[in-house]
Amino acid sequence: MGYRNKTYEQALEIKRQSAKEHRAEFDKTLEEIYSKTPRLSVIDNELSKNGAAAAIKAINGDIEGLELLRDKSRKLSNEKQKILTAAGIGDFKPLCPVCNDEGFVKGKLCDCVKLIAKELVISELNEKLPLNTSRFNNFSLSYYPTDEDENGISPKKRMAAIFDFCHTYAKNFTPKSESLLFLGGAGLGKTHLSLAIGSLVIEKGYGVIYGSAGNLLGKIEKEYFSRNEPEFSDAVLECDLLIIDDLGTEFATQFSNSALYNIINTRLLADKPTLINTNLSFSELEERYTARISSRLAGGYTIKKFLGNDIRILKATGK
């Protein structure tokens, strides 16, 4: 069966557990009300006695007696309902009215379980985010050149503006924020700022998926051919923020290119933000990917060009 994979079983287990706790909580509240209101047990007793008596009257064909009993039971039930309502407890309500907390609807996994599975995938991925290494507060502008171009703009000035842009973007993030494309050579801080955004957005409580292009697309391909439920692919399409690191370094196949297009296109249509960074220039992107991918990026993404020299080399040589 398709759902028989680790994440779904884990999600089902979580669902069962929370349904059990929810039921236990209801029962406990009910028990407390019963212990404070002895009348309730009396009513229950009467109701079950009436039920038994009504069965006998029905067998004997005593319609009049049956009606009388039914009337009595109705009054008792109303009285009970009034006491319970006054005590602030209504009928038991399952957490999910769709599946009645069974986890399945007509033999298929209920959406409430799928949602838990998605959250599991996302939190597993988020745990792998190196949260403490690449933050806004340890991003240094000191390595960027200060020599100005003809417009009086130095790489350092440009990067200071990009830094502010990224910080504001992360602070004001909503699941409807714009999509971003970071361009620029290696070692200019694209990954650092992508991670800093991802970390802050996670801290705001949103679901973020972060991965290198090779990793993400490889996982999607593996899942596709495993015939498991596409839980990872779904999470990539539906998470609040998707960060694709180092686009262009993956081993590109027809499959990976069409998966990439699907991700970019689906998320744009759904107004869900994606952050992509790449060492490729825009014309290299156009060359490597189909025109439909590059035109989506050009039309739907806010593009930021990183400038400067390779920081990693500068740091290593101490210049």
- Residues forming contacts to Zn ion in the complex (CB under 5 A) are 96, 98-99, 110, 112
Residue 2 · residue 229 · CB < 8 Å: yes
Nearer to Zn ion, 100 or 140 (CB): 100
Report how far residue 29's alpha carbon sits from residue 6's, in angstroms, rounded to the nearest whole number. 35
Nearer to Zn ion, 104 or 224 (CB): 104
**Nearest distance in Å: CB 111, Zn ion:** 6
One-letter amino acid for residue 277 of the chain? N
**Nearest distance in Å: CB 93, Zn ion:** 13
**Nearest distance in Å: CB 25, Zn ion:** 18
Nearer to Zn ion, 58 or 98 (CB): 98
**Nearest distance in Å: CB 266, Zn ion:** 25
Report how far residue 126's alpha carbon sits from residue 241's, in angstroms, rounded to the nearest whole number. 11
Nearer to Zn ion, 16 or 157 (CB): 16
**Nearest distance in Å: CB 26, Zn ion:** 17
Nearer to Zn ion, 107 or 318 (CB): 107
Strands 104-105 and 108-109: antiparallel
